[in-house]
């Protein structure tokens, strides 16, 4: 038989804490934060030098080193090394490795070529061992070389 007065009985029942709603809230918070979290891919950086091509009095450019041109050919991006046309990023590596690396390398980007291809050339040059890699803005009105 319960001998406690009714007021004390009510107080004791009020002090009982239900854990289930609290756990529900925790899981809801976890799900909310996991759903709203944005997954950002890890980033890295390339640090090529920057130079503009300036025409000297004689009409020649101010450098005559090794140059990779990033151009559009027949609607597709391509690399030009001298008269050689390279259609894939993978084929560029062995060609660059065969070149002397002391003089540095210039990557010249034509305005209509995609950025990814120019960055690919800079990376390939770094991987081939070129320490001095310079980006040069190219012809923006090329409109696709023949």
Q: How far is the CB of 30 from other proteins (least distance, A)?
A: 7
Q: Which is nearer to other proteins, 6 or 33 (CB)?
A: 33
Given the rule CB under 8 A, which residues bind other proteins?
17, 19, 22, 25-26, 29-30, 33, 37-38, 40-52, 70, 89-90, 109-120, 122-123, 126-127, 135, 137-138, 140
Evaluate whether 121 touches 93 at the Cβ level (below 8 Å): no
**Both tokens assigned to 82:** 């001298």
Q: How far is the CB of 134 from other proteins (least distance, A)?
A: 9
What are residue 136's DSSP bridge partners?
Answer: 108
How far apart CA 8 and CA 19 sit, in angstroms, is: 23
Burial of 122 (0-12, 13-18, 19+ CB in 10 A): buried
Q: Which is nearer to other proteins, 102 or 136 (CB)?
A: 136
Q: How far is the CB of 1 from other proteins (least distance, A)?
A: 27
């Amino acid at each position: 038989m319960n001998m406690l007065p009714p007021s004390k009985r009510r107080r004791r029942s009020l002090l009982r804490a239900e854990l289930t709603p609290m756990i529900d809230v925790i899981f809801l918070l976890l799900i909310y934060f996991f759903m709203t979290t944005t997954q950002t891919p890890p980033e890295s950086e390339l640090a090529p030098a920057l130079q503009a091509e300036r025409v000297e009095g004689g009409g020649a450019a101010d450098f005559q080193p090794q140059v990779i041109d990033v151009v559009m050919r027949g609607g597709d991006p391509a690399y030009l090394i001298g008269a050689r046309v390279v259609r894939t990023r993978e084929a560029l590596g062995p060609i660059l490795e065969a070149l002397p690396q002391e003089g540095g390398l210039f990557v010249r980007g034509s305005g209509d070529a995609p950025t990814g291809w120019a960055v690919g050339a800079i990376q390939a040059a770094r991987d081939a061992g070129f320490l001095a890699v310079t980006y040069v803005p190219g012809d923006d009105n090329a409109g696709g070389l023949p």
